[in-house]
Amino acid sequence: MAKPLSDYEILLGVSGGIAAYKAAQLCSLLVQQGAAVTVAMTENARRFVQPLTFRTLSGRRVYTDTFAAENEYDIHHISLTERADLLVVAPATANILAKAAAGICDELLSNLLCSADSAILAAPAMNRRMWENPATRRNVEILRQFGYHFISPESGHLACGDEGIGRMSEPADILACIIEMLSQKKPKRHLL
């Protein structure tokens, strides 16, 4: 039976928030649906989940450093985005959203966002006050104008003990959004 994400290349960007553990589940679900998944992690994301987790789930090398090329010709922030059908940022912290909105490229994930050659889907996750902050709201609006897609955070119990909006959407819901987005186009590898 055909899997809905067979032949699609997903670049999964994991930024530093407690919801990074959900990104591991999302990675597993993507692979189960046939996607080839490459993971790029920020330094702060590695404080929550180790790269080994994603390497085990994806069966691929995990990228954590802009300058750790295997050879002098491999420029990760370009080569990784060229083959990706979709760049998914989960969790998308207030920090990474602010960097993307301002065009700041000071680590691998922000470089990937700036050089993306595909659609971008962000799954925000943060404290409710951070989500409701006018700067975050402005950054989300700017990114929507840039063409970013968002799957809104959910309400519920937050890691800090608060209740309210800010929880990253459940991995199954993000997966459904990804399948819907990619069903509209052929995988890049079929276009070559």
Question: Distance (Å, rounded) from C-alpha 105 to C-alpha 110?
Answer: 5
Domains located in the chain, CATH noted? 9-191 (3.40.50.1950)
- Residues labelled as active-site residues: 160
Per-residue pLDDT, 71: 47
The whole-angstrom separation of Cα 47 and Cα 53 is: 12
Task: Tell me phi and psi for residue 148, to 5 degrees.
Answer: -65, 150
**Cα atoms in the Cβ-side hemisphere of radius 13 Å centred on 184:** 6
* pLDDT tens digit sequence for 27-39: 999 999 999 999 9
Q: pLDDT tens digits for 37-62?
A: 999 999 999 999 999 999 999 999 99
Q: 166 in the Ramachandran plot: left (φ > 0), alpha (ψ -120 to 50) or beta?
A: left
**What DSSP letter does each residue of 115-139 carry, written as one string?**
H--SEEEEEE---HHHHHSHHHHHH
Model confidence, pTM: 0.93
